[in-house]
């Protein structure tokens, strides 16, 4: 059956949801949504049966973007973080559920970053990170709601606030000295002292989940001694770890119920989320029946009876779901798809694998029209995700659905360097941008051509951020394959990219991309801007850039476009404020 066509406006007619959590009484969910035209805070009843409940807007920002939300378990206080039109200098705000937002920090050039939790259980302290003291560091800050004063409690390095003990006397936080090292530390609020919870043991990641109610155990996601993330418990008295969950794929999300009895977690198996609820006392586990897709934002209600999360599928944008833990019924709380396109008129991708140059099998999601007739040769696009430490997954994409409805094939590879396939696979791209990854794209396009239903003369490539760099690398170093390309905010020169990225990121850039001095020769050789002469004269190239992008600055696109035009190549260039 051919894929039915709809105008693009209907595919992008969606509400976007970013985060969700429960209020104190657990009968209400607070979430971030752009229904008003900007990402604002809303609240809604946490159960949807036959009766439709009304959503209530809590903030009315136009030039501010709400990014993260937290609630208090002792009153109806909401704490949230917002920036100004995407500048990423997040400020901290407080809101009574029936009141008006109060700005707690007002430092436009300072970045305040939320952590895993924010509010202490007793409601007095907020924990977050800030680069106010030194733009290159993210210090750990405590804000005292009682006095209205903030204090840097640990300074130096890149620190992230973690989780609180139930008595609000201790806070786990994370230091990130390297890309593959997340070191857990414990702050004692009474003494002001902090200790490391692990001795030097190599490059391990720890993501805090929560404390047991008695304060003796801290739960983490970790890849300690493993290639994938599992769940481990650290006993403070014995100073020892014990594994709770050790799947053969990453535990991508984990949340501990307030009473410490239940662990909710999600496994990322080949890009698809699987939700489980584990009784930590008995070890019994339930696999929750959810639509095939991708989970995020897992949180328990304060009465331990519900779980809320965000879920997207190939045919539905991200929406909020509430799971009733007493009868395991699942309810979709909101409706995100507004274009009235029947799900049967959209497609789901096929998970495929192809061999790269070194016989590593590269997983990819293949989106294609239904019922391709024998002998048909369709146009195709290779879509390269950003990061590069990210993952292409079976989530809703208005672009993919629209392209498929117009007869395009889309191949979205999880090239070496992608997350979700173990840390060894992820590290293959460290200090090798434009190396093995570029060969993965070459083998992707070859695989498409060999499929028999793709026209070799009508293949394009696109991507944003790292994916933009990869796109520029494709058209400058593999020019024979591509007839069209879209680069969105892509670095064109790896040396200037590393030198102009946010200061707090630079500690990791030598490890991820390369050192501008020590690795100058290879960084120059891998930079697309130094291969402009290879670009096909008949290439249709579009470059898109954000004027205020803090990570890939506008100059990266400016210099690429200028050189292309001087070389006589046609390029369309759009800059968005």
pTM for this model (two decimals): 0.94
CA distance 41 to 68: 9
Burial of 240 from C-beta contacts in 10 A (0-12 / 13-18 / 19+): exposed
- DSSP 8-class letter at 339: S
User: How far apart (Å, rounded) are the C-alpha atoms in residues 382 and 102?
Assistant: 46
Give the span between the Cα atoms of 79 and 101, in whole angstroms: 9
The residues pairing with 365 across neighbouring beta strands, listed in sequence order, are 351, 412
pLDDT at position 294 is: 98
Look at residue 168 in the predicted model and tell me its pLDDT. 97
Burial of 344 (0-12, 13-18, 19+ CB in 10 A): exposed
pLDDT, position 51: 57
Q: What is the pLDDT of residue 48?
A: 58
Q: H or E segment at 256?
A: strand 250-256
**Cis? peptide before 388, omega within 30° of 0:** yes
Give residue-wise pLDDT tens across range 16-35. Answer: 999 999 999 889 999 999 99
Contact indicator for 95, 118 with CB cutoff of 8 Å: no
Structural domain spans, the chain: 343-576
CB count, 10 Å around CB of 47? 17
Q: Are 252 and 267 in contact (CB under 8 A)?
A: yes
Write the DSSP string, 473-493: HHHHHSGGG-SEEEEES--S-
Return the structure tokens found at 52: 């439709």
- Which H or E run includes 355? strand 350-355
Which of the following CATH numbers is that of domain 343-576: 3.40.630.30, 3.40.50.1820, 3.40.50.1100, 3.30.56.10? 3.40.50.1820
- Expressed in percent and rounded to 5, the helix, strand and coil fractions of the chain are 15, 40, 45
DSSP label of 534: G
- Residue 510: is it exposed, middle or buried by C-beta count within 10 angstroms (0-12/13-18/19+)? middle
268-276 contacts at long range (C-beta below 8 A, 24 or more positions apart):
268/391, 268/420, 270/351, 270/363, 270/420, 271/351, 271/363, 271/365, 271/391, 271/392, 271/393, 271/394, 271/414, 271/420, 272/393, 272/394, 273/311, 275/309, 275/323
Count the residues in the chain.
Answer: 577
| Cα separation values, 45 from 57, 317, 333, 382, 427, Å | 13, 21, 8, 42, 43
DSSP character at residue 61: -
Report phi then psi at 167, rounded to 5. -90, 5
Where does 46-158 show beta strands of DSSP type E? 56-57, 64-71, 77-84, 91-96, 102-103, 112-113, 125-130, 139-144, 149-154
Q: What is the pLDDT along the chain (577 residues), one digit of tens a residue?
A: 556 899 999 999 999 999 999 999 889 999 999 999 999 999 999 875 555 568 999 999 999 999 999 999 998 899 999 999 888 899 999 998 888 999 999 999 999 999 999 999 999 999 999 999 999 999 999 999 999 999 999 999 999 999 999 999 999 999 999 999 999 999 999 999 999 999 766 799 999 999 999 999 999 999 999 999 999 999 999 999 999 999 999 999 999 999 999 999 999 999 999 999 999 999 999 999 999 999 999 999 999 999 999 999 999 999 999 999 999 999 999 999 999 999 999 999 999 999 999 999 999 999 999 988 888 999 999 999 999 999 999 999 999 999 999 999 999 999 999 999 999 999 999 999 999 999 999 999 999 999 999 999 999 999 999 999 999 999 999 999 999 999 999 999 999 999 988 877 888 899 999 999 999 999 999 999 999 999 999 999 999 999 888 788 899 999 999 999 999 999 999 999 8
What is the C-alpha to C-alpha distance for residues 112 and 91, in angstroms, rounded to an integer? 6
- Distant-in-sequence, close-in-space partners of 552: CB < 8 Å, separation ≥ 6: 465, 468, 489, 490, 491, 497, 501, 545
Contact 69, 62 (CB under 8 A): no
User: Which of 92, 82, 101 lies closest to 142 in space, CA to CA?
Assistant: 92
């Amino acid at each position: 059956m051919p894929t039915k066509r709809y105008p693009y406006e209907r595919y992008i007619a969606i509400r976007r949801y970013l985060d969700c959590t429960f209020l104190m009484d657990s009968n209400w969910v607070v979430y971030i949504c752009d229904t008003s035209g900007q990402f604002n805070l809303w609240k809604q009843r946490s159960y949807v049966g036959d009766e439709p409940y009304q959503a209530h807007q809590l903030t009315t920002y136009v030039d501010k973007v709400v990014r993260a939300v937290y609630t208090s378990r002792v009153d109806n206080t909401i704490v949230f973080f917002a920036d100004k039109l995407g500048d990423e200098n997040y400020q901290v705000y407080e809101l009574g559920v029936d009141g008006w937002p109060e700005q707690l920090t007002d430092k436009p050039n300072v970045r305040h970053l939320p952590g895993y939790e924010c509010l202490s259980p007793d409601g007095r302290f907020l924990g977050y990170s800030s680069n106010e003291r030194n733009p290159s560091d993210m210090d750990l800050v405590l804000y005292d709601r009682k006095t209205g004063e903030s204090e840097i409690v640990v300074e130096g390095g890149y620190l992230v606030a973690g989780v609180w003990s139930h008595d609000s006397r201790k806070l786990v936080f994370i230091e990130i000295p390297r890309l593959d090292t997340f070191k857990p530390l414990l702050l004692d609020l009474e003494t002001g002292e902090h200790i490391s919870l692990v001795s030097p043991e190599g490059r391990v990641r720890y993501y805090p989940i929560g404390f047991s109610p008695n304060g003796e155990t801290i739960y983490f996601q970790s890849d300690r001694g493993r290639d994938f993330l599992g769940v481990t418990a650290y006993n403070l008295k014995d100073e020892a770890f014990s594994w709770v969950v050790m799947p053969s794929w990453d535990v991508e999300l984990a949340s501990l119920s307030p009473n410490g009895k239940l662990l909710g977690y999600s496994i990322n198996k080949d890009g698809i989320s699987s939700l489980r609820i584990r009784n930590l006392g008995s070890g019994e586990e339930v696999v929750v029946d959810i639509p095939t897709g991708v989970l995020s934002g897992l949180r328990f209600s304060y009465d331990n009876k519900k779980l809320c999360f965000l879920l997207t599928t190939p045919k539905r944008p991200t929406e909020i779901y509430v799971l009733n833990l007493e009868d395991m019924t699942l309810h979709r709380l909101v409706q995100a798809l507004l274009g009235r396109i029947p799900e049967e008129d959209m497609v789901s991708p096929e998970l495929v694998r192809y061999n790269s140059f070194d016989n590593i099998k590269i997983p990819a999601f293949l989106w294609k029209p239904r019922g391709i007739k024998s002998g048909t040769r369709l146009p195709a696009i290779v879509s390269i995700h950003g990061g590069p430490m990210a993952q292409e997954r079976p989530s809703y994409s208005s672009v993919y659905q629209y392209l498929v409805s117009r007869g395009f094939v889309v191949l979205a590879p999880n090239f070496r360097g992608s997350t979700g396939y173990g840390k060894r696979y992820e590290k293959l791209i460290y200090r090798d941008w434009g190396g093995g990854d570029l060969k993965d794209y070459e083998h992707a396009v070859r695989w498409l051509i060999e499929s028999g239903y793709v026209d070799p003369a009508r293949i394009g490539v696109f991507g944003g951020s790292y994916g933009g760099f990869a796109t520029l690398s494709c058209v400058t170093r593999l020019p024979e394959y591509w007839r069209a390309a879209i680069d969105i905010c892509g670095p064109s020169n790896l040396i200037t990219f590393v030198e102009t990225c946010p200061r707090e990121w630079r500690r990791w850039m030598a490890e991820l991309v390369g050192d501008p001095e020590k690795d100058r020769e290879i960084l120059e050789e891998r930079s697309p801007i130094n291969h402009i002469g290879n670009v096909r004269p008949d290439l249709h190239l579009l470059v898109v850039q954000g004027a205020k992008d803090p990570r890939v600055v506008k100059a990266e696109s400016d210099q690429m476009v200028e050189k292309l035009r001087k070389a006589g190549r046609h390029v369309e260039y759009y800059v968005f404020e």
